[in-house]
Structure 1
């Protein structure tokens, strides 16, 4: 679902039924929040760009509001108005291509998050420019994971985990693990899938990884990754291969694993050290591993205080 493999583990007498319920919950979210189905709730907003505001359900409104707030910080590349550029490049699909420069230039005025007009009273969203498009791909899975965790906790689940691709959210610890944690590996972005660069013992926290190795294509003797720069319309120029965020809430991990893709590892560590409740593991294109101030790296495992 959602272009990835979903993995759920639930320790509970009614675990199988809870997993069925979670599947239905995720399916409903995926249908409502996607930009790949014209009938979705989000696409109703996009299709009404420069025509009329669209009233959306409170959860979608709050997610858009949160994402817009982060997007307006020009210090970072997170941008929910990036939709027109994403559709121009089509990275991750079979028809991915390098758009012509004049096409990119025409899209740049459409990716300004300040042109998303929100009405707190009506819960309406209005895109003020024709052909603007919101894309929640950099935040939605984190929100979904947090909501699933709430559902499981309310049902009395004390031990389990939710894995939505590169997004892992844990409940308690593994009952089978002597160190009372879920040992979660960080994919080595410079090696074959399944190769782990570090292991993080997680207890009730979220871990989200974004990397230039996840979605890309090769053309003209060059590799183009899916993390786009709204200033240039091109893939972000950086010395970073992947960023892993450790946080309480998965939605924050989603945001900062994209927002942290600055030009250099040094810039990223400095910037993320300023964000409350956010810790990061950054792997450079040379394979160097750096961590924020709340983490300890012993070369195999990473621990948080």
Structure 2
């Protein structure tokens, strides 16, 4: 099997990112599988090369070495950066267009966020379908004011999947997801399209990530179906690390970022702290990476969100 970690280089990683990285690594290695790294830098404005370099260094400092490690290109070859993979996204996009599943959308608000992972806390509303049935005359008028984004038509039916940690998940595609953007008005492809294409083509069997991405799984599984990929990965969603007021940790707020963590903790102490926070060990203790593989157990991982101090440090 093959797991993956696919961070966005939009700032310095924080404890929540490392927590997801570590548990995705442990889950893959517990099953004797591979663990790969992919950089999701679709948003050219927010994602910077220096953040990618720092991200790679932070993972290696923790001891998390990916199986697609490259000695030639500083740890990761260019094929694992989404900004270099437009040709694959174009093929998938064209396939959806040929099926008559794509239409022009001239609405602006959601287009701005389409390159980012759609976290539940972002407050994105379900699209009304406003542009789905525009007449040719209406579209010709709108074309004069702006270029359209491209939305995927979603069928009106129930969808479900079994999450490896949270169990059965069900939604109505039409009322809970709605038609979603697969290509922005500026030509950049959406997160949803890119992540599905990359996971499928890279042979990813298991995806481990925060529970705030459960809702986006339905859209991704829908794309797997419409793009006729053989099979989708198994999804394991994690409880979130949250601030004391319940806010998801963020790069923007510099919550427990890796600069602070590296200055104040050794990799072994930090690994033990994460395993304790998620419930895999009963008391805080330093753990090597090999020891943490033995200690990791999905049956012990908490289901409720985990509250920590949010400013610069974690307790202890």
The TM-score normalised by the length of structure 2 is 0.26
Greater helix proportion = 2
Greater strand proportion = 1
The TM-score normalised by the length of structure 1 is 0.27
Which structure has the higher relative contact order (CA within 8 Å, separation 6+)?
A: 2
